[in-house]
């Protein structure tokens, strides 16, 4: 997808499943699997407009042999998108602590 891998970390669960985090110079990609439910959750987060997250999505779709895909795309920094998903956006609260 045109991203630069900084590092990766993975963890296998017993009796099955895996979590993988890939730190990118452009942000991150994470994958969590639940084979017992035939489910995987993927987060592809990039901040460089030259990267193409759709390439990663297509590759993972094929590699995982996914029969169905449900996706939610949120444009980074667009709080109005998040507000539509949650129904509202909370303003940050700052304290003097």
Non-local (6+) Cβ contacts of 13 within 8 A are: 19
Of 44, 41, 11, nearest to 27 (Cα)? 44
Query: Looking at the annotation, which residues are catalytic?
Result: 27, 32, 47
What is the SS3 assignment for 1?
Answer: coil
Of 21, 24, 51, nearest to 33 (Cα)? 21
How far, in Å, CA of 69 to CA of 57, rounded?
10
In the beta sheet, which residues pair with residue 7? 23
């Amino acid at each position: 997808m045109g991203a630069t891998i900084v590092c990766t970390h993975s963890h296998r669960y017993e009796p099955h499943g895996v979590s993988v985090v890939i730190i990118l110079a452009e942000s991150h990609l994470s994958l969590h699997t639940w084979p017992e439910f035939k489910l995987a959750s993927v987060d592809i987060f990039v901040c460089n407009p030259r990267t193409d997250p759709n390439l990663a999505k297509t590759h993972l779709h094929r590699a995982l042999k996914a029969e169905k895909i449900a996706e939610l795309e949120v444009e980074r920094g667009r709080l109005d998108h998040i507000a539509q998903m949650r129904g509202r956006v909370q303003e940050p609260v700052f304290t003097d602590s």
